[in-house]
Structure 1
Amino acid sequence: MKDTRALAAAALAEVALRGASLRDVIQRRAPQLADPRDRALLSALLNEGTRWWLRFDAAVEAMLQQSLRQKEPTVHALLVLGLIQLEILQLPDYAAVAATVQAVRGLHRPRHAGLVNAILRRWQRERVERLARLDADETTRLACPAWLLQAFRQDWPAEADRIARAGNAEPPLMLRVNRRQIGREAFLQSLQDAGYEAALHPWLSDALILPHSTDVTRMPGFATGHFAVQDGAAQIAADLLQADPGMRVLDACAAPGGKTCHVLERAEVGMTALEFDAGRALRIQQNLDRLQLQARVTVGDASEPAAWWDGRTYERILIDAPCSATGVIRRRADVRLHRRASDIAALQAQQGRILAALWPLLAPGGRLVYATCSLLRAENQAVVEPFLAARPEARALAIELPVGQTAGPGWQVLPGDGDLDGMYYAVLEKTA
C-alpha cells in the first residue's frame, strides 16, 4: 500500500524542484492510490504545496542547519507538506505530525524520521514568531515570486496585492452546460437531486457554480456530454465571438478544446480547431467526442498558415494566444514556480506573429477575438495596440462586461473579479 504523504512528497519535489507540470504529475501519481479519499488528499497536498511553496520552503530552510533541497529533495518536500498540513489544511496537529514522520519510511529514508519530527515540533513551538518573519517579506507573505509582484505593481498598482492574494484562493468549480444536450435549469436540477451544491451563474448563460472541486467524472451527465469544466472567464469568449450558424470559424491555439466546444454548442458552424502539438490536438478530439460535437481538428503552427490553410477566409477567428498564464495561477499553481520574467518578451513576440499571420485569413466584415489568460500589459495591450496602429482596416470594438475594466483597446478581468480567473480580451473587426 502506498503512503499518500510519501507519494505527495516525491511528486511535489518533481514539481517544485525539477520543473515538472503539476497537472501531469497528479495525473500520473493519482492512479497509484486505490482509495478515492487518498487521491483527494494527494490532490489537496500537491495543489496547496505548490501554491504555498514559496512561503513554506523558506520556512523549512530557516529551521535547517544544512539544506536538504539538493541531497534529499523528497524529504525537504515532505517537511514543506508537514507545514502545509498544519497551516493550510489545518489537520489536527498530532495526526499531521505523526503521519508525516511515518511517511519518511515510505520514502525509504528512515534515518531522517527524527529530523522531520524535530522540525515539525520546533515549528509548533515557534509558530507565531516564524509566521511573523514570513509575513514581513512580501514574497513569502503572498507566496508570489518577486519578479511577478513587481510586474503586478507596474501594471496594476492599485490592485497588485489583491491580485496576488486572489492567486492563493481556492477557486470555485465552474461548469459549462452543453445546451445541445440539456437545458441549464434541467441540468442544475439533476445535480441537486444527486446531492451536489450548485447554482446558476448570475450573468453567464451557460455556467453553473459549485463551491468546491470534486470528481466531475462521477457527476450525472458526464459520460453523456451534458457539461464540461470551464472557468467563467473563459466562457466569455463565445459571447464575444458571436458566431452565427453557417459561419466559417477558426479557433487557433485551441487545445484542450473548451472554447471550440462552447462555440459549437452555441451554433452549427464550420469549425477548424488548430493546435500546434499533436498530443494536445488529441485532447480536443476527445472532448468533441464526449460532447457529441464535430469540428475539423488540424495540427499546425498558427503563425505559419501556409502549411495548413485551405485559402478560404473565416468570418470569425479566435486566438487564445500562448501566454504567461499569470491570470490563472489559482488553478495552475505551478505557474508561480516555473514562469520567469525572461519568458515574457518571447511570448509577446510569438503573440504578435500569430495575430499578424492570422489577420489576412479573416474575411472583410469579420471579427477576431484576441484572448490571453495573462495579466501583463506586455502580452495584451502592447500586442494589440501596435497591431491596430499598423492596419487602418482593423478597429477595436468596445467591450463592457459586468466585471473587469477597460485595458487599452480591450478588457481585462482580474483574478477574483466576480470570482473568475484573470483573462484579457480584445475584439477586432476587419472593416475592408
Structure 2
Amino acid sequence: MNVRALAAQVLNQVVEQGQSLSQALPAAQKDLNPKDKALLQMLCYGVLRTLPRLDFFCRSLMQKPLKGKQRAMHFLILVGFYQLLYTRIPSHAAVGETVNGAKALKKPALKGMVNGVLRSFLREQEALLEKAEQQDALKYCHPSWLVKRLQSAYGNEKAATIMDNNNQQAPMWLRVNVIHHSREAYKTLLDDAELSNFTALDDENKNALRLEKATDVYKLPGFTEGWVSVQDGAAQLAAHYLDAQQGDLILDACAAPGGKTVHTLELQPQLKQMVAVDADDKRLVRVQENLDRLKLQATVIHGDASKPDEWWQGELFDRILCDAPCSATGVIRRHPDIRWLRRDSDIAELVKLQKSILNALWAKLKPGGILLYATCSILPDENELQIKNFLENTADATLIALSEQHNDTTKGRQLLPNEDAMDGFYYAKLQKTG
C-alpha cells in the first residue's frame, strides 16, 4: 500500500466530504503495519494543521485547480509539500513516494504533473513561504473567521499564541483509577514498565499524569483491568469540580464517550445512581465500553439533553454535569480537522442549543443542587457570555467557586490550549438557591 495515497484519500474524505478524522483515519489504518500506521497518522494530522498554507502553495504552482474525480490528487500534492517542509524524510524519497501515489490512486497519467509541481516547490519554497507569512490565515493556519474571533476575544498577541499552540501535537494524558491505585503507586508501575517520562499535575487534579511520549494503551500497566484511562488533564477536572457526594443522584448530560461519567464513579463509587445521557446512540456504545472495562455501573440513556421530559420521569438530580455541545475550539491541537469542519455560522446555532440545554436541565435540578457547565471551547460566546446570560435570566441560579484553588465567582474558569499542557476548556459551577 502507498501510504501517501492513503493519506490523500483520508484528507479528501475529511475536507471535501465532511467526515471527521477520527472516523476516516482508523478505517484507513486497519490493514497497515505499525510503522506505516504511524506515518499515515503523521501525514494526515500534519496536512490538516497546515492546510491553508499548503493550499496556497498549490494555487501558486498550478495553472488550474484539480477538481471532481481528480480532487484526491490535490491532496496527494499537499502530502508531498508537507513532507518536504515539515518532516525529516529526504526530499528524493518524499517526491518519489508521492509521485508513485498517483498510480495507487489510479491516475498514472498524472505522475508527471505531480513530479513537476513538487520539484517546482523545491525551487521556489523560500519565496512562497515569505508570501504566506504576510496573510494571517496562512501564517497561523486557521480559517479567517476563527482568526478574527480569537483576535477579538484575546487580542492579536494572545490569539497568535493560542493558534501556535493549536498547531502543536497534543500530549498523552492518563487518569489513574483511585479505586485501584493512588497516583504515586501508579507512578511506580510506570517506572517498572519503563514508561517513566511523566509529569504530574498539582493536587487539584489528583489523578492526572502526562506522558512525555505517547504509547500504545495496552502497554500501560493494568489498562485492560481498568487501572488507568486516557483522558486530557483539562477534561479530568470535570469530576473534581462536580464533587459528587455519597448518596447523590447524578446526571451526566451529553455524556459520550463516557470519560467524565466513569471518572465521577471512580472518585465516588457510593452514589445513589449515575445517569449518562447522549443523543448519539452510536457514541453511547463507547460509554458502555468504558463502564464495562472499568467494571462500573450507570444507567445509560439515549436521549436529547434539551428535552429531558422525554427520557426522565424520576426525582430531581443532586448534581448535573452539563458537558454541552460546542465548537470544540479548545481541542484543535488534538483534532486538527475541527477548524476546517466548523463554520462561523455554527457558533450562533451552538450558543442557542447550549442555552436550551442549560434551561432544560436546570428544571431537573434539586433546590440546593449543583450544575457544572463545561465546554471544550475557548470562544466567550459559548462560555463566559453564555453563563452571564443564564445568570441574568435565572433568578434561582448563583455562580459559586469551582474549588479552593479556583474560587472566582464572577465568570468561571477558561483554560486555553497548552495551559499546563492541557486542552482548552471552560468550567462554571452553578448552585440552585431556594
- Corresponding position of 1:64: 62
Aligned match for 2:341, one of 338, 341, 345: 338
Report what 2:39 is aligned to.
41
- AA aligned opposite 2:275: T
Provide, for residues 166-222 of structure 1, a one-character-per-residue CA deviation record: whole Å limited to 9, x for no partner: 110111110111111233223222223223243242212101111233322343322
Please point out which of 343, 358, 361 is paired with 1:358: 361
| Equivalent position SS for 2:77 | helix
Q: SS in structure 1 opposite 2:209?
A: strand
| CA positional deviation for 1:119 | 1.3
Question: What does residue 105 of structure 2 align with?
Answer: 107
* 1:420 corresponds to 2:422: yes
Letter of the aligned partner of 1:133 in structure 2?
Answer: K
Distance 1:402 1:196 in 2: 30
Q: Structure 2: how far apart are the matches of 1:278 and 1:92?
A: 46
Q: Let me know the Cα RMSD of the aligned residues.
A: 1.7
Distance in 1 between residues matched to 2:236 and 2:82, nearest whole Å: 33
2:386 to 383, 387, 393: 383
Q: What CA distance in whole angstroms lies between the structure 2 residues aligned with 1:219 and 1:98?
A: 38
Alpha-carbon spacing, 1:27–1:118, altered in 2? closer, same or farther (3 Å): same
**Equivalent residue for 1:77?**
75
User: Cα 1:305–1:8, aligned 2, differ >3 Å: closer, same or farther?
Assistant: same
Residue 201 of structure 1 aligns with an amino acid whose one-letter code is A
SS in 2 for 1:323: coil
Query: In structure 2, what is the equivalent of residue 3 of structure 1?
Result: 2
Change (3 A) 1:406 1:338: farther
* SS of the residue 1:102 aligns to: helix
Match of 2:166 in 1: 167
Alignment of 1:25-424 (within 5 A): 25-33=24-32, 35-157=33-155, 158-203=157-202, 204-268=205-269, 269=271, 270-399=273-402, 409-424=411-426
**Cα distance in 1 for residues equivalent to 2:196 and 2:36:** 23
Quote the Cα distance in structure 1 between the aligned partners of 2:96 and 2:342: 35
> d(CA) in 2 for partners of 1:372 and 1:177?
23
The CA distance in 2 between the partners of 1:150 and 1:331, in whole Å, is 21
Contact 2:197 2:213 in 1 (8 A): no
CA distance in 1 between partners of 2:217 and 2:373 (Å): 30
CA distance in 1, matches of 2:248, 2:376: 26
| Deviation of 1:285 (Å) | 0.3
Question: TM-score, normalising length from structure 2?
Answer: 0.95
The CA distance in 2 between the partners of 1:230 and 1:151, in whole Å, is 28
- Once residues 128 and 346 of structure 1 are traced to their aligned partners in structure 2, the CA distance between those partners, rounded to angstroms, is 42
Name the structure 2 match of 1:18. Answer: 17
The one-character-per-residue Cα deviations of 1:264-295 (angstroms, maximum 9, x if unpaired) are 11012221001111111111000111111111
Hey, what's the Cα distance between the residues in 2 that align with 1:72 and 1:94? 24
Structure 2 alignment gaps of length 5 or more = none
**Secondary structure of 1:293 counterpart:** coil
Do 2:241 and 2:403's aligned partners in 1 also have CA atoms closer than 8 Å?
no
* Offset of residue 407 of structure 1: 9.7
Per-residue deviation, 1:406:
6.4
Distance 1:289 1:109 in 2: 47
Q: How far apart are the structure 1 equivalents of 2:119 and 2:428?
A: 52
- Count matched residues: 429
Q: Is the 8 A contact 1:188 1:200 kept in 2?
A: no
**SS at 2:413's partner residue?**
strand
